[in-house]
Amino acid sequence: MIYTVTCNPSLDYVIDVPGFAAGTLNRTSAEELYAGGKGINVSWVLHELGVPTKALGFTAGFTGAEIERRVREQGIESGFIQVPEEQGLSRINVKMRSAAGGETDSTTGNSVAGNIAATRLETEINGMGPRITENDIEQLKCRLSEVTPDDMVVLAGNIPASLPDTLYCELMELLKERGVPVTVDASGSQLNAVLQYQPFLVKPNNHELGGLFGVEITDRSTALEYARRLQQLGPRNVLVSLGSKGAVLVTEDGSSYEREARHITVVNTIGAGDSMVAGFLAGWLKTGSYETAFEWGVAAGEGCAASTGLPTGRALLAAGCVS
């Protein structure tokens, strides 16, 4: 079982607004509503790849109830902590797709210059979410006490302002004591803080990796160099996406892999980085091969970018996630 933790899940209201203009009336041409948040996205793709998964985190109010309903409707097991409504409501994030934009990283959604063409400009407005108390955090820790060394945990997304900056460190310490492998998909100081706990996998993009070392990373060779430097700080495996320049991986057995990006028409970047994490973990669990895990991760990210939403099992199969 892979448990995912989404500290601040959301309802993602995704709209198409052709010819969007600020300061005037605009109308949508299409609307979609999803249960969102990085951990939930990882659970979705894992489920589509046939990997048992359970989504954890915090929900509140009628929006939180709808998030949980949609997660269960997707066939994903839910273990969210329901916090009192007086602490706020689970957030609604508005994600607007409008006119054609530049070029976009198929695995992270970051704008890049290169060979992956974007077809839409995406604008996001994210809500705040509820206030989380120490009692809520203790309940989450209690849920994680169910996890065994045969399971995995994914901590996905940066920690919201309502939670202590030390939360991931606290969870990592708890899970390390239990011998549970943990993947962390965060950035900046929150990623840097957990490196000492030797996570199974971290997945920065080239900008996030460069930010940790104060350098600019624009090619796979440099990415491999700094991925190795990051690995020396604790993580067992480091997966880095570089947009149009592809992706690289350094592993705990001393191997390294790199791959160019494929030419694809990008129609969606929401959840592409989360799909990459899920594809990697699914490939590793199913085959025990880091090379295969790397290929699945890159393929899942590209499969998401080529889909209108999170990729289905069919889209993932077409992208190359096959055992």
Q: Out of 12, 136, 185, 274, which one is annotated catalytic?
A: 274
Is residue 250 within 8 Å of 291, Cβ to Cβ?
no
Alpha carbon 4 to chain centroid distance? 10
* Rounded distance between C-alpha atoms, residue 277 and residue 134, angstroms: 29
Burial (CB count within 10 angstroms: exposed 0-12, middle 13-18, buried 19+), residue 106: buried
Is residue 90 within 8 Å of 130, Cβ to Cβ?
yes
> Is 274 an active-site residue?
yes
Beta-carbon count within 10 A of 40 CB: 31
Burial (CB count within 10 angstroms: exposed 0-12, middle 13-18, buried 19+), residue 177: exposed
Burial (CB count within 10 angstroms: exposed 0-12, middle 13-18, buried 19+), residue 203: buried
Which residues are part of the catalytic machinery? 274
